[in-house]
Amino acid sequence: MMKTFRKIAAVAVAAVMTLSMAACGGSRSTAADTQDLVVARSLETTDMLPQTGFSNGDIWAIQQVYQTLTRNKTDGSGVEPGLATSWKQSSDGLSWTFKLRHGVKFHNGKTMTAKDVKFSLDFARTARDDKPWQFLFTAIKNVAIVDDYTVRLDLTEPWAPLPSDLSMSASAIMPADFGGKTETQFRNNPVGTGPYKLGEWKKGDYIKFVKNPDYWEKGKPKLNSVTFKYVSDANTRSQMVQSGQAQIDEFPTAVSVSSLKKTKNVHVESFPSTSLIWVNLNNRKKPLNDVHVRRAMAYAIDKTAIVRAIYYGQAESANSMLSKNLMGYSKDVKDLEYSMKKAKEELAKSSAPKHFSLTIQVQSGDPEKSMLAQILQESWKELGIDVQLQTLDSTTVYSNRTAGDFDVAMFEMTNDISDPDEWMQYMFSSTANVNSGYKNEKVDSLIKRAAADSNQANRLKDYAEVQQIIADEAPEIPLVYKPGLFAVRDQVKNFTVTTLGEYKLADTTIAQEQ
């Protein structure tokens, strides 16, 4: 193992040298005096329809154009008014009434009313194979229009996460009947109520948003435009910020941070995050369907060494598959701590005690995940597992996960709402969108019971039990919790990313660069 970490450390040092050289040769930004922001991003935006967009590359773009009835607080502790100014639950818990904000206009100039809210939520909860967020709406029986600025949601059962669910991008409010467009037309030319509207979208390259002059929050946004530039290679993103081609680099590698901090006119922002780096195992495939195989693989991973070798102490070992910055996280979860002795004992009990092969799918342009894959390859080799690495673009890695076409893959997960119900259902239920094939009736029952219980203490107890079951059965393996790191040029002011990952760009400005 030490030989592997020395090799990885050498790769990391080479990466730092490359970035340092780029910094020395950087040129001043040509856009220093404008209000046009360019963000170099690691994930492509592929879908701007809120109900079908599924990756962070989609969601964080959708949030610039659309808005929801409730919105997440910056610290992820709950929700606050959005397009709804207030809401009230009935005494029996079976309905919620929402008062809508007056004077909100869509990008097409039409005023938002209850008719638009009903259309949007009804569309969101109508079952379809390409809608990954259906589970958020299963308790909604009916969306009723009370008057032009009041809607009532009738439920099949009490549902504690509802106000948080309605802050999810899939709950975004669209104009009724897609504003007179077909769904396909609307998907390519979206209309929302957000601070920015779609300007130009060159798929596979960039998506540009322009200022909404009729935005309901007066005096916002400050920027004329925001461009999310898709750049899969981490080194290239850092070089773009160092040279001024972009003002923000989304998720610079930990090894590059020290170099970036030494670059003139650039600083590194670190925001609290729900980010978890984890290993997804395809539980449908032999021998990964064997709990002893999965446990052996989990025991063989030295997370402390990973934090040191790859993240340079800027992350921490994860004990649970639920983020530590999310309500419901249990610090008492006992994970399968590194022990090659226990790993070999588990494998000896399994259906594949001697030798088998598998492939890890790795996202291209991501040196951290590439190094992680090398560590996993070396760790599992000690168990007699032949591990092949397959490098693919991020879009393919995600689509393969949806199709179940993988053995092992690594992902970064962030929660989109303040309630853990989304994470629980998306990751662990028998219909989970991560498509690991894991099924456990007790886990399903605990998740369902927690969602229907308004007593928070009871919910926390159920969620702690789920986390321990997942830790014991290892359908997925948590690796590290990460902060939200961004390389930012000094000219960018009031740039904030919420604990749940949303870019708060309505207040962001660009000052003249010194």
Question: What does the alpha-carbon distance between residue 391 and residue 67 come to, in Å, rounded to a whole number?
Answer: 36
Q: Report the pLDDT value the prediction gives residue 8, as an integer from 0 to 100.
A: 46
The answer to whether the beta carbons of residues 372 and 277 sit under 8 Å apart is yes
- Residue 163, phi then psi, degrees to nearest 5: -55, -35
Torsional sign, CA 80, 64, 119, 423: negative
Question: What does the alpha-carbon distance between residue 387 and residue 359 come to, in Å, rounded to a whole number?
Answer: 6
Residues in the chain: 514
Q: Report the pLDDT value the prediction gives residue 38, as an integer from 0 to 100.
A: 98
Question: What does the alpha-carbon distance between residue 63 and residue 316 come to, in Å, rounded to a whole number?
Answer: 29
- Could you give the residue range(s) of every CATH 3.10.105.10 domain in the chain? 274-482
The answer to whether the beta carbons of residues 310 and 12 sit under 8 Å apart is yes
Q: Report the pLDDT value the prediction gives residue 417, as an integer from 0 to 100.
A: 95
CATH topology of domain 274-482: Dipeptide-binding Protein; domain 3 (3.10.105)
Using CB atoms within 10 Å of the CB of residue 129, give its burial: 0 to 12 exposed, 13 to 18 middle, 19+ buried: exposed
Question: What does the alpha-carbon distance between residue 272 and residue 29 come to, in Å, rounded to a whole number?
Answer: 29
Q: Report the pLDDT value the prediction gives residue 289, as an integer from 0 to 100.
A: 97
Question: What does the alpha-carbon distance between residue 361 and residue 406 come to, in Å, rounded to a whole number?
Answer: 7
Q: Which contacts of 26-31 are long-range, i.e. CB under 8 A and separated by 24 or more positions?
A: 26/239, 26/242, 26/243, 26/244, 26/263, 26/264, 27/243, 27/244, 28/244, 28/513, 29/243, 29/244, 29/245, 29/247, 29/489, 29/491, 29/513, 30/244, 31/244, 31/247, 31/510
Angle (CA) 101-222-163 rounded to 5° is 35
- Residue 211, phi then psi, degrees to nearest 5: -60, 135
- Residue 387, phi then psi, degrees to nearest 5: -110, 125
3-state secondary structure of 477: strand
Using CB atoms within 10 Å of the CB of residue 421, give its burial: 0 to 12 exposed, 13 to 18 middle, 19+ buried: buried
pLDDT of 111-161, one tens digit each? 999 999 999 999 999 999 999 999 999 999 999 999 999 999 999 999 999
CA distances from 474 to 15, 29, 293, 427, 468 (A): 33, 48, 9, 12, 10
- Could you give the residue range(s) of every CATH 3.40.190.10 domain in the chain? 7-42+195-265+490-510
Across 94-242, the runs of DSSP E, i.e. the strands, are 95-100, 140-147, 150-155, 196-202, 206-211, 225-230
CATH topology of domain 68-180: Dipeptide-binding Protein; domain 1 (3.90.76)
The residues of the chain scoring below 50 in pLDDT are 1-5, 7-32
Which of 409, 408, 425 has its CA nearest to residue 463?
425
- Could you give the residue range(s) of every CATH 3.90.76.10 domain in the chain? 68-180
Across 104-166, the runs of DSSP E, i.e. the strands, are 140-147, 150-155
Query: May I ask the CATH architecture of the domain 7-42+195-265+490-510?
Result: 3-Layer(aba) Sandwich (3.40)
